[in-house]
Structure formats: C-alpha cells, structure tokens
A and B are shown apart, each in its own frame.
Chain A
C-alpha cells in the first residue's frame, strides 16, 4: 500500500521502526494531493472546467514548505533519539476555521481572505507538538455556515471523492474530502450542529464531535460559541482515538476547556462491548420537516437503507455481547433544528461583529464618508450570503422585543434536549445507556445545487446530529455501508459527557465486527 493510503497509526509504526522517514511520508502525500486535488479554491476561480469537476478541491492553502520543515524536524528527533511525539510524521489537514501562525486563516470568507494569523489554535499546536505535519488548510462553508461546502467564497469548493457530482457535506467538507480521497489520514474539523459528523457520513470516513469542553476552542474562529467543538476526522476509529488523545485536555487559553484528565483512548479502544447498554430511539428514525407556510411539522420516516444500517449495527453489537435497548424516548429531538436556528444565529451575529474592516481582513476600496459607511460597505462586500443571513436572523431574534419569545425560548428547548440525554444515560435511570445508536444523516450526499439556496432545508441535514451539540455530549459517525445510490451511509454513537472512550470502543467493536464485509473493500474512485 502506498504511504499516503496508510493509517496514521500505521505510519507512526513504520516511522518508529525506521522503515520510512517523515519526509518520505510527506512527499508521498504531496504527490497524492497534486494528483487528485486539482486547483485550490480561490476568490476569483474563473471558468469551471470538466477537469475541475473530477477533482477533490479540498485545499485553500497548501503549506508544503512548512510541512517539509516539520517533517525534517521529526526525522532529526528520531535520529537524535528524542521522542518525536504520538503523531510523529503523520500528515494532516486543518479546516480553515482554525488560526495557524503565519498561514492565511480565511474561514472560507472574502472578509478574511487576506488574514494571516499571528498565533496558532490550541488543537493544531498540540498536533504539531506531537510531531504531526500540517500540509495545509482545507475548504469549508463560509464561516462554517452550511452543510455542503457550496457557500465557501473559495471556489471550486470540495467535491465528494465517492462521486464528484455530489457534495462532500459540511461544513468540514474539505477535511472529510481530504481524508476520504486519501490525501491525508487525519484532519482537524469543527462541529457546531454536525459539521464533522455529517460530512464524515457523506464521505464515508470517521468523524467525532467530542464533549463540549473536551478539546480547546482557542484559535477556532467562532460560530456558535456554546456549541462549537473541534474534533478529529480519520479513516478509522483507531486514528480518530489517536488524534483525540493528542488534542484533548485542559487549556489555560480556554476556560470552557474541562480540567479533566484525558483517558488513554487508544489503549482502551479494544475493550469490547460486553455488557454495554446501547439504545435505539424511534425519534432518530424519522425526521421532522416544517411546512414553510403553516409551520406544522410533517414527520417522515428515514429511507429504509438508513434504518437498516442502524439495525444491522445493533445486531452486530448484540452478537458481541452488548445489550440493545429499544424505544428510548428522545422526544425533543425534533426541536433541535429550530432551537439551533435561534441560538446559533444569536451567537454567530455577535461573533461576526469583529469583522468590521477596521483592524484586519477585508476593507472596502470604495470611498467612504464616515465610519458607518466603512462598516456597511466592508461588511456588505466582505460577507457572503450565509453570514448575512445569520446576522439578520441573529439580530432579529436577540432584539430586546423578541428575545424573550425566541432566544429565551430556544434556551429552554435546549435544556429539554439536554434532559432527554440525561434521562437516557442516567446510571440510576430507566434506560442506563452507555450509548445511543442512530443514523448520522437522513440522506446520503446530495448533488451540487440540489439543496443549496434553501437554507432551511439545508439545515435539516443536521437534524440527527444537532441534539448532541445542544446537550454538549460526544458523538461519533462511522461508515456503515452504502446506499443504493452508491454513496456512503454513516451511523452515529452518542454518549454521556466525557465518555469518548466508550463510544470509541463501541465504534471500534463495530469495525471489528464488520471488517470482513464486502463494502469495506470499496474505495473512492481514483481520479488521476
């Protein structure tokens, strides 16, 4: 197997046994990127060609020289007998929502296109300190606002490696595309409503949203500050565990990062599921879509392939000794999206205030008469449609006269969603679950232009992932086969606060149970 296609875990093993050098790994990866990625996203993409259609376009910024320096440092440490760290020589990409010193940190927006960060986000710094080699910054929905990557100001945007006419999902679509296309084994993403798990499901990779506070948010450009979680994206559960091991833990730059010890995720990974209680909830097998005219919900069952994938997984885990608990009520699941609409937009509008054309980032080149017109023009020209929609909605629902009716109410709904999880996981409760098993998404990856433009419908792609963000609990999406359209299906395990080691263990057990299945041999089509 080519080096670029190896897992992070395997690469560190090869490196430590001196079968390869970090530089060799890197060159293999850079070659792979050159072969499959195509041109990076830019603000001024010109004509979209057939060649463009067939490429991945994960990157905004390739940092090859920086990566070479890092790889050489890893090789030097190895030669000198120093400990090069847990991720020694492992190439990774970073969603361009994280600041990395000396690199453009764009958030996929025109307003930050010229912003070069003077400091490095904590999770990136930890990966680099552990010997990881960052090869570049990858594309995303503008400011993470989306579920398809189509809203990025940097085009061409990423395409799904399994089918270039399908979106990779989002907002961490560049991350999941780069991992699925075997450009890198690991990527750092962020998840506010499902932005790691949904594109992971769409791209057939593993994506984990850790507990809120498990991984520092320092250096991650904020969307919904009370919901945002950085997390790992990988091709298998072991790599995700390895990466989480490195990025998790207390940070004196982030007071919401928990002061809790980080378990040995990799060492605990194969503890099995014997005796574990894994729940299924009917509320995760149907989706609620509001009628735009009446506001009434229509409940629709999920496509058969999705419930079948989940039930197959449940059966496999039961075979390995887990106890499956059916009919766990999660009644407030359906309110996840409306509450999210309000809370995330209030926080987003506030978080976007700092982009005003004064200090950094885009400033209008038009003449301005006064300060207000400087603000207005810079923001009007710098922000794309999605940030503008979020600002409008956020300002509306947080205005003094509406705040009670919308924002406060949404916070109450959030508490109810949290209570659903508390009851399901309560060790003294009726269900005493170790994890809840659900589909990750209600559909497979959709085609470009199919959903984009309908902001509400787009948001509903996150219906099954957003409750975990409201509740703060951890979730992981792993591949579980393919639908009839040939696109990957993801299943999700949700756990109680700070029980990442449990859901990683369950996910790993599922991998073991299905490792010989035919669908696992499938590979995204090669494009060269």
Chain B
C-alpha cells in the first residue's frame, strides 16, 4: 500500500462576543431566545434599511488578526455576496472579498518533540451571520435571531497533515480566542464552526489531489474523527484505483458516519460588489495602536516562556497556559511567593485546578487570591503549619476571603513546636497505653506511627509531627 499523507485545510467561522450585532443594535447573543424575538428591521432585511458597522466587531477582529500575525489593512471594504436562501433575508450577505480586513498570518502549532507546524492563514475577514433554517413536519422554519451576528471567517492554507493536527489546530484556536476575549469559542453552541477540506497524496508529493469538504462538525472530537474517517476512505478509494471526487460531505454525529451531501457543482457566482451602504473601512494607525495595546502575550509564547523562565516541564507549562487567567494566576503567585516556581505549579495543578473544576470557575473568579496561595506555601515552608493544614486552608480562604494568616491565628492552626507542650502530651499517651508501649519496646517499631498519630489527634493536628516523633522516641527508649 502506498504511504499517503493527508492534506487538510480548515475553514472556520468565529462568532465574536460583541454586545450587539454587527450592523444593528440587537443583542448579538440569542442563546435560549425564542425564534425571531431578537430581530429588528435591519437584521431581518426589511425594505429600506441600512447597515451601520459595529466598531467593536472590527476591534475584536483586529485583535484576532494581530494574534494570528496577519497584516491588518489600513483600507478594507465590505462586499455583497449575492445568493438566495430563506435564512438570508436580504438575499445577500455582507462580507469581505476583494479587500479583506487582514492578509497573511499563521499559527505555529506545537507538535511532539518540540517541533511545530506552521499553519498559514489564507483568508481572514469580517462578515455577518445568516439565520437558521430547520425542517419540521414538512415545513421549513426560519429563525432570524442569528442574522447579523458578527463573524470572522478564517481559512487556513492546506497545511495540516493529520486528523490529530486538525484537532490540535482547533484546540489552539479555541484557546487563543478565549485568551483574547474575542469569542466564547464554544463549538457546541456554534461560536466556533469548522468545515474541513481533506485530500490525500503519496507522502512527499508536492501536488494537490481533489478534495472533499466536510461540513457540520460540531466539536473538536468530531473533527478529528470525521477527518480520520475521510482520510481512510480516500486511501481505500485510491488503493482500489478510484479517483476522489470533489464531494461535499456531512458529518452525522449520531451514527459517526460521513454522508454525501452533494457533488460539488461549478463554483457559484456570488456577483460580489462593494457594499454601497457602508463606507470603506479605514483603520488608522492610532486606532490600530489603541486596540493592539490590549493584545496580551499569546498562549504559545507564554507556554514557552514558562519553560525557559521558570524551568517548568512542558507538561506543566501547557496546562498552566491552557487558559489565560490561570496562567496569570500562576505568575502572580510565583511573584508573590518568591520561591521555587515548580512548587507553585504543583499547588496549582493538584489543588487549585481541582477546586476550579469543582466550582466551575476560572482562576480570576477565586476569592483565594495568588497572594493568599503564596502565603500558604510560605507558611508551610517556614514550618508554621503543616502540609495538611495548608491544603485545608485553600477552602477556608476561598470560603471566607480572609487571609491565611488570619485564619491560622483565629483557629489556632499553627503547628505546636513548643517542646514542653508536646512532651507532656507524649507522656500522657505513653501513660494511657501501657500495652502498646510494651509491644513497641518488644520490637514492634512500626507502632511509632501510631503513637505519633495519637499525639497529633490529642493536639488536633497542630503538633509538629517530626518533633513529636523525636520526643516519643526519646521517652520510649527510657
């Protein structure tokens, strides 16, 4: 069998999380709204209406373009893309074609073994969303709520080489969109939509074979699975001596199968022309600058920096930079703590993340601030509290918002390292348990743990266990 490689390009539509739609004052988000309740004359395409551009949508698209290393154009135009469909109330979609918002761009996708795949961006522009159509009981139902929701259409070059890479790209894109705060990027809710163009060729070949387009894939797992199945199908076809036809395929989530929607007809003629109802979009240097000052360090850059600056393993760095506020939290804790960054990482990965998952929160929503966490770690380092107390403090600080030190003082949680206090409790334990004392002295050394436990219990965990053990050993040796 020939060794094939896949050639994959992804066409994504990203719903920007602006307050209002791109050309009118309706709310952008219609989640849970009854059909056709979040509409106005403009987005439902009544006669005589005109679009007015929402600058916030432009600004969010600029942030995304900059993060993708694309060149934001100082002059761009909206065009009309003309076609008939019932959920497109004007009979044309306002999009960008000839002079898009940004050109070029790429994402360096990390691969195992420190390699990276450069995925180039072939297209990046703003457009309005159409409505939704569904068939029910022999009727076609139309919901205009989604009409006019701002979208960025972003299309990659055919640079991805496996189903896994396609999934990775989407994971990184989703991470980036949330990191930038430009989209909720929830694929299940359609904030991030993806069509995949797939072809295969003998490994090492430079030409492109006819591709198929997979539509209606609503999760990253589904993209991985659908693309993998399509690669396998194409390989089987080629091995059988068939040629691949340019079909459009639909992913059926329930059966986990690809279905043929249609053979690709000749390219539709959308009769693009500049939208005369909107002025050319001028993006001045000042505007660009004022928006791009808000461009944060990007997730992949930060991930790399965590490895080099803090000496974290890639694994840690990856998890800590999965989400922006967690990575901010990590860095703030490291700064406040001043000690071993890896120790902070352990606390976050073991305890704070569990807390976040249980509570369904992001790090910036915690009452347990980075300064609190740093203080807890420091209290342990300094021997003021033991490790178990430290962990229990996480919940207590989160619940009360008080500082760890205040809680330690109020609840008397500090370790007792007063030799006399521990010694008297140790004597008590020895006096109360003659049988165990005898066993121990007869050689059952493992009982030492039990004795320490008794002391700790009597002192409600505050005793320094190491000190208790030393005193017990001394007393029992007598």
Contact = CB atoms under 8 A, between A and B. Distances in A.
B102 to A, nearest CB: 21
Contacts of B86: 356, 358, 371
B46 interface: yes
Interface string A113-132: 00101110100000000000
Given A119-B41, A226-B276, A350-B91, A252 B52 contact: yes
B51 A399 contact: no
A255 B82 contact: no
B136 to A, nearest CB: 15
Among A112, A115, A254, the most chain B Cβ lie within 10 Å of the Cβ of A254
B275 to A, nearest CB: 8
Interface in A212-269: 217-222, 224-226, 252-256
Interface in B297-311: none
Contacts of A407: 273
A199 B35 CA distance: 45
B41 A400 contact: no
Nearest to B41: A119
A431 to B, nearest CB: 29
A98 B140 contact: no
A521 interface: no
Given A255-B53, A400-B271, A117 B47 contact: yes
Contacts of A255: 50-53, 277-279
Nearest to B51: A255
Nearest to A357: B86
B142 A358 contact: yes
Nearest to A395: B271
A452 to B, nearest CB: 25
Contacts of A354: 45, 47, 89-91
B450 interface: no
A224 B90 CA distance: 15
Interface in A380-400: 395, 398-400
| Chain B binding surface, main DSSP class | loop
Interface size on A, as a range, is: 35 or more
Interface in A77-129: 98-99, 105, 107, 112, 115, 117-119, 121
Contacts of B278: 255-256
B84 A375 contact: yes
B137 interface: no
Contacts of B201: none
Contacts of A221: 47-48
B291 interface: no
A297 interface: no
A105 B47 contact: yes
A256 B84 CA distance: 26
B49 interface: yes
Contact of B46 (A346, A360, A398): A360
A222 B48 contact: yes
B276 A371 contact: no
A98 B90 CA distance: 17
Interface string B325-340: 0000000000000000
Contacts of B269: 399-400
A225 B276 contact: yes
B44 interface: yes
Given A119-B41, A350-B82, A356 B91 contact: yes
Contacts of A350: 80, 82, 91-92, 271, 273
A347 interface: yes
Contacts of A499: none
B408 to A, nearest CB: 58
A160 B84 CA distance: 40
Nearest to B86: A358
Given A119-B41, A353-B91, A356-B91, A112 B271 contact: no
Nearest to A353: B91
Given A350-B82, A400-B271, A112 B92 contact: no
Interface in B79-130: 80, 82, 84, 86, 89-92
B50 A217 contact: yes
A403 interface: yes
Interface string B205-230: 00000000000000000000000000
A225 B84 CA distance: 19
Contacts of B92: 350, 353
A219 B46 CA distance: 9
Contacts of B45: 354, 359
Nearest to A213: B279
B46 A403 contact: no
Nearest to B40: A119
Contact of B49 (A219, A353, A395): A219
Interface in A336-353: 346-347, 349-350, 352-353
A403 B80 CA distance: 14
Given A350-B82, A353-B91, A119 B46 contact: yes
A359 B44 contact: yes
A398 B271 contact: yes
A118 B273 contact: no
Interface string B40-69: 011011111111110000000000000000
Given A119-B41, A222-B277, A255-B277, 12 more contacts: A112-B47, A117-B46, A121-B48, A255-B53, A255-B279, A256-B276, A256-B277, A256-B279, A347-B276, A350-B273, A359-B89, A371-B140
Interface of A: 98-99, 105, 107, 112, 115, 117-119, 121, 217-222, 224-226, 252-256, 346-347, 349-350, 352-356, 358-360, 371, 375, 395, 398-400, 403, 407
26 contacts: A99-B47, A112-B47, A117-B46, A118-B41, A218-B50, A219-B48, A219-B49, A221-B47, A222-B48, A226-B276, A252-B52, A253-B42, A254-B50, A255-B51, A256-B279, A350-B271, A352-B91, A353-B84, A354-B91, A358-B142, A359-B45, A360-B47, A395-B271, A398-B271, A399-B269, A400-B271
